[in-house]
Amino acid sequence: MKKYNEEELNEKKKRESIEKAREVASKSQEIVDNNYEKFIQKVSRIVKKINSRVDFFILNSLSAKIISLILAIILYVSITSSGDVNVTTQANVGKNVYGVKVIALYDKTKYQVDNLPETVDLSLIGSLDQIRKTEDNNKLEVIADLTNYKPGVNQKVDLLYSGVANNVDVKFSQPSYEVNIYQKEKKEFKVTPQFVKENNNYSYEANLTKNTVTISAASHTLNSIESVYVLIDVDKKTKSFVSDAKIVAFDKDGNIINNLTTDSDNLKVEVTIVPLNKGGN
């Protein structure tokens, strides 16, 4: 057996130490490489999982409905903030219209109708462009058709409409009314001239073509008439003139009475105007 001297033995131990150090370093690097690869794989799995969740949320039908609802709310807020326009569906809107005149169809020479409003409020329902077309045409009419009605109380009449664009609906604030229909009677009344907007620097005298007028109305309306005037406007008038003047009936409280007809809406009057001499010569 070969014998090593002390110097050779130390050299051998040194080489063995270096080899072990290299082996340890190699294994350490291998461990690091393996751990790094595992870390990358783990991160990759997490990213894929997140992507799948996002795809599920976008493509899922329930998620799509949630997104649609959010967009619908945004549309609602943007449109309703413009005033009298209200959203009814995603396609239609509602526009409020106030004070539309009611056209009552019946024989006004024979009948008097009570409890029917002169104007009503309503909403136009449809697409925005068709609603604007209806407003631009200015042909919207509200009609109460009473042509086939007979005298009686608490009779229901439904409001009708015309003059709207295609695919536009009308919703009334009150779609029907209970009306009272009366047979008209006739009565003669004395007419009194009444000057309007007089000037204290002038005196006025009116000569009427007739001093009485025949009024047709229901009996309770005729009984409520306290006085009948022919109203003569003399605003800024300084010379005598001839004109037609309107006939108006009043109740005992000074309120104008409607729902009546006269044998003539106006009377021809001759007005004499004389300036007043306030100097006192």
Domains and CATH numbers, the chain: 84-183 (2.170.120.30), 185-275 (2.170.120.40)
| Phi and psi, residue 29, nearest 5° | -60, -40
Please determine, for residue 4, whether its predicted confidence score (pLDDT) is greater than 50: no
On average, the pLDDT of the chain sits at 82
Each residue's pLDDT tens digit, 110-150: 999 999 999 999 999 999 999 999 988 889 999 999 999 99
> What is the pTM assigned to this prediction?
0.61
Residue 214's DSSP bridge partners are 188
Helix (H, G, I), strand (E, B) or coil at 93: strand
Helix (H, G, I), strand (E, B) or coil at 94: strand
- Residues 252, 224: Cα–Cα separation, whole Å: 7
- Residues 113, 181: Cα–Cα separation, whole Å: 5
Tokens of 49: 């999982």
Please determine, for residue 216, whether its predicted confidence score (pLDDT) is greater than 50: yes
Q: List C-alpha distances in Å: 184 to 10, 159, 249, 259, 274.
A: 143, 24, 16, 10, 43
Each residue's pLDDT tens digit, 36-66: 566 566 656 765 666 666 555 555 556 666 7
- Residues 29, 114: Cα–Cα separation, whole Å: 104
